[in-house]
Amino acid sequence: MVKIYMYGVSEQERPIVKEWQALTNAEVYMDTDILEADTVERCKGYDGVSTYQYKKVDLSVYETLKSYGIRNIAQRMAGYDPYDLDLATQNGIIITNVPDYSPESIAEYTVAQALNGIRNLYQIHERVAKHNFSETLDMRGRRLGRLTVAIIGTGRIGRSVAQMFHYGFGSTILGYDVYQNEEAKAYLTYVDTIDEIVSKADIISLHLPAMDETFHIFNKEMLSKCKKNAVLVNAGRGVLIDTEALLDALDEGHLGFAALDTYEGEFDYVKHDYSNKKIKDETLVRLLNNDKVSYTPHIAYYTDESVENMVHRALQSTLEIIDHNDSKYRVN
Ligand code: NAD
């Protein structure tokens, strides 16, 4: 029987792993600790390794795994920054990730937040919390079927968002990407520049990666081109937006509403409980106090399907490497 050592296991993963084991007849040992120089010896005698971790893997780990005859590390998420890919390759270790665990989960979050903005739900909830049940013009929503949605970055997630808006609500979809996707032309029209797409859109949805070319692509100038009642959703990467410029644009009425699942200064805060701690980041404080912003801590991905797929695909990649020394999810 194949034996897999699983590091960084959370409670929510345990039942999923047990189900997978029953289907495959593999034996999986679940450890809550992550893979480090101090914990690597625990996987001696196993055939493959999987982990879920943000922390850099100690450089000595690759050689130790090699000495145990282990040929893989399956990261149960998309990001693989913790790994030294060259050193892994030198030691015959194949690193795999799970890049496409559920584009639909992020897309559904995006649609939910766009509706939140278009129907003024956030402000309505705040008013109702104060027992104000009156109907005023600022509560009037707009119907999605009459609106234009701009998808900036028509990759896996962007295309899923486009389909939901087009087929689900009848919205008009404009797309912008450095590479146009032929299949996407069935439900969206590509536009040549971001400026053009931004000036026409009622909802702007960002799905670009973080790169030098995309850093603060939504700066003061770009934000000034948005429609005054436009809704901006960023479930891509925080650095796509100059957050101070966005807050100014909202204050000055250049934009209607922003829903941010990613924030450029999120790293010290996301996944931590600050309910009894002071937030020192003044931009974050400003953002949290703005009633035209709905902020969520990088949880667009977080659904039952995503967690299941991360576990299943990482364990499946481990089996593939044990059996054939290759996997479609290898990154080195
Ligand atoms: P993807 O690689 O499938 O799509 C990205 C698209 O951006 C590609 O089509 C690419 O051609 C395009 N692109 C790259 N550089 C560009 C540029 N300079 N100008 C225009 N287009 C450009 O990626 P994806 O899986 O759809 O992910 C999109 C974003 O969502 C990523 O930033 C990813 O990190 C983020 N994400 C967020 C969450 C979350 O929970 N909030 C979860 C997963 C992914």
Maximum Cα–Cα distance across the chain = 71
DSSP 237-254: -GGGB-HHHHHHHHHTTS
Task: Read off φ and ψ for residue 60, nearest 5 degrees.
Answer: -70, -20
Q: Over the stretch 113-128, which tens digit does the pLDDT of each residue have?
A: 999 999 999 999 999 9
Would the pLDDT of 79 be above 90? Answer: no
pLDDT band at residue 7, thresholds of 50, 70 and 90? Answer: very high
CA of 210 from ligand 1 middle (Å) equals 8
* Separation of alpha carbons 51 and 54, rounded Å: 10
Looking from the CA of residue 208, the nearest atom of ligand 1 is: 7
Task: Read off φ and ψ for residue 23, nearest 5 degrees.
Answer: -75, -30
For ligand 1, atom 38, the nearest C-alpha belongs to: 301
CA of 194 from ligand 1 middle (Å) equals 15
Other Cβ atoms less than 10 A from the Cβ of 292: the count is: 19
Helix (H) or strand (E) holding 229: none
Would the pLDDT of 139 be above 90? Answer: yes
For ligand 1, atom 20, the nearest C-alpha belongs to: 177
Q: Over the stretch 172-191, which tens digit does the pLDDT of each residue have?
A: 999 999 999 999 999 999 99
Looking from the CA of residue 214, the nearest atom of ligand 1 is: 18
332 lines ligand 1 (CB under 6 A): no
Would the pLDDT of 25 be above 90? Answer: no
Prediction pTM value = 0.92
**Stretch 240-247: mean pLDDT, rounded?**
98
151 lines ligand 1 (CB under 6 A): no
Helix (H) or strand (E) holding 66: helix 60-67
For ligand 1, atom 3, the nearest C-alpha belongs to: 155
Active site residues: 237, 266, 298
Would the pLDDT of 54 be above 90? Answer: no
- Among 37, 32, 67, which residue's Cα sits nearest to residue 51? 32
Would the pLDDT of 150 be above 90? Answer: yes
* Separation of alpha carbons 35 and 72, rounded Å: 13
158 lines ligand 1 (CB under 6 A): yes
Q: Over the stretch 272-324, which tens digit does the pLDDT of each residue have?
A: 999 999 999 999 999 999 999 999 999 999 999 999 999 999 999 999 999 99
Looking from the CA of residue 240, the nearest atom of ligand 1 is: 32
213 lines ligand 1 (CB under 6 A): yes
pLDDT band at residue 212, thresholds of 50, 70 and 90? Answer: very high
* Separation of alpha carbons 268 and 271, rounded Å: 9
263 lines ligand 1 (CB under 6 A): no
